[in-house]
Structures are given as C-alpha cells and as structure tokens.
Structure 1
Amino acid sequence: MVRLTFGRHLRITKRPLYQECYSRGRRYFTPSFIVFIRANHQPSWRLGIAVSGKVGPAVKRNRVKRLIREFFRVNQHSIGLKADFVVVCKKSIDLDNLTQQQVNQEITDLLSRIGNQIL
C-alpha cells in the first residue's frame, strides 16, 4: 500500500526558491493558472503555490490552494518530472465555480502537454 501524504520534502518553502522558479523557469498557461516549471536536482518534484490577495478573500484563496495541493498529493507517484512547480492563480479565476475536477483537468492537460520538454 502506498501512502499519499504531502510531506515537507515535496514543498517549496523559501522565497529564493520561488524567485528562482519565476526568473529561470518556463512559464505555462492554463485557463485558471500560470505554472512555472524549473528542472531541479532533487530526488523528486517540489510544489509551491502563490495566490494573490487580489483574487479574493482568504477563505477562497485557501480553498484554491487546497484544491491544487490535493491534485499533487493524489498524483504524486505519476508525476515523473524532477522539477520545481510554482502554481500561480490568475486574477480572472472564477473561485465560486472552481471544482477539484476542473483543477485536475487543467493540470493534467498541462503535464501531458509538456512531457519531458523542460529537461
């Protein structure tokens, strides 16, 4: 049985790592997100999430973060890229109608579209 935890080793926690992704990473767009991806030399991928206060109140921002984290938690063993991902929520996102299924679809399409392109 495989555990699906989202441990600290899978997170980007420091500002310099976010800045590195923004400045040197490749930028990809989905209808709701901008995803910065940068190859890393870690044993696995890492995730950072950025949701601006301009998107909405804290309750809605936190919900978006939970939905994104849930996608990466559930699919952690199928993501084959050794990269840092920073997912930025667009200001134009419809937070009231955003579902887990929509997040899953957008990020899955993005990951299949890029494949091993960043490496």
Structure 2
Amino acid sequence: MNKQQRIKKNKEFQQIFKKGKSFANRQFIVYVLKSDQPEFRLGLSVSKKVGNAVTRNRIKRYIRQTFLELKDELKPNTDYVIIARQQAAEMDFHESKKSLEHVLKIARALPKK
C-alpha cells in the first residue's frame, strides 16, 4: 500500500465514522464512504483489547494483504475503515480474508460472484 492509499489523520477517521455507512460481521466492522480520491483508501483500527502488539500487527498485516489482493475488484474513490474485533485474533490469514470478503460483499464494495 502506498501513502496515497492510507488514512492516518484523526479528522479523516472521524469524518468517515460520521458520514460513512457501517457494515459488520463477527470479526470486522467496515465503514465505507465515497471520496474524491482516484484510488481507494484504507484506515485500520485494532484495539488493545484484541491482544498484544504482535497480535495487533499480525491482524493489520492480514487486512492490508487482503486489500492488496482485492484491489482490482474494489471500487475506486472510496474510503474504507476496518475495525477488528476480538474474534479476529484467533484467525489465520485465509479465515480473515474470507471474513473480510464477506463483510465487503455485505457493504456492496465487492461484486458478488
């Protein structure tokens, strides 16, 4: 992920939380908001309640890798904020990818196959 595809500023997060739509399953919450950026942007939030730093960083790596693999299918000019829930800590990469795809299909960010 390059720098243009990241959401870092608290102001941007708050705007997406206020104006965006949220979709969830047991492992992830996804906020989606249309933006004027040419590419999609991704913001990640993994609470300390989920686990220690190693666990949180692993979850973030899994989410970034999933978005990298799905970048051609995702809608451009959209902002995504992913919040990981505690159940995400026990999953391996393939399970977390499947769960993220599921919640993105609910959000209509991915086409249904």
Q: Mark yes or no: TM-score above 0.5.
A: yes
CA distance in 1, matches of 2:2, 2:18: 26
Please state if 1:49 is matched with 2:44: yes
Task: Give 4+ residue runs of structure 1 displaced > 4 Å after superposition.
Answer: none
The letter for the 2-side match of 1:93 is Q
Residues of 2 paired with 1:111 and 1:32: CA distance? 12
For 2:87, give the aligned amino acid: I
Q: Does 1:102 align with 2:71?
A: no
For 2:69, the equivalent position in structure 1 comes to: 74
Give the TM-score normalised by the residue count of structure 2.
0.88
Matches within 5 A, 1:1-119: 6-90=1-85, 92-95=86-89, 97-115=90-108
Residues 28 and 103 in structure 2, CA contact (< 8 A), matched pair in contact too: no
Q: CA deviation at 1:9?
A: 0.9
Could you list the per-position Cα deviations for residues 60-110 of structure 1 after superposition, in whole angstroms to 9, with x for gaps in the alignment?
0110000000001121122124211000011x3151x31111121112122
Counterpart Cα distance in 1 of 2:50 and 2:68 = 24
TM-score by length of 1: 0.84
- What 5-or-longer segments of structure 2 have no aligned partner? none
Hey, what's the Cα distance between the residues in 2 that align with 1:77 and 1:94?
A: 24
Q: 1:102, 1:51 → 2: CA distance?
A: 17
Matched letter for residue 102 of structure 2: D
Displacement of 1:50 after TM fit?
0.3
SS of the residue corresponding to residue 36 of structure 1 reads strand
RMSD: 1.5
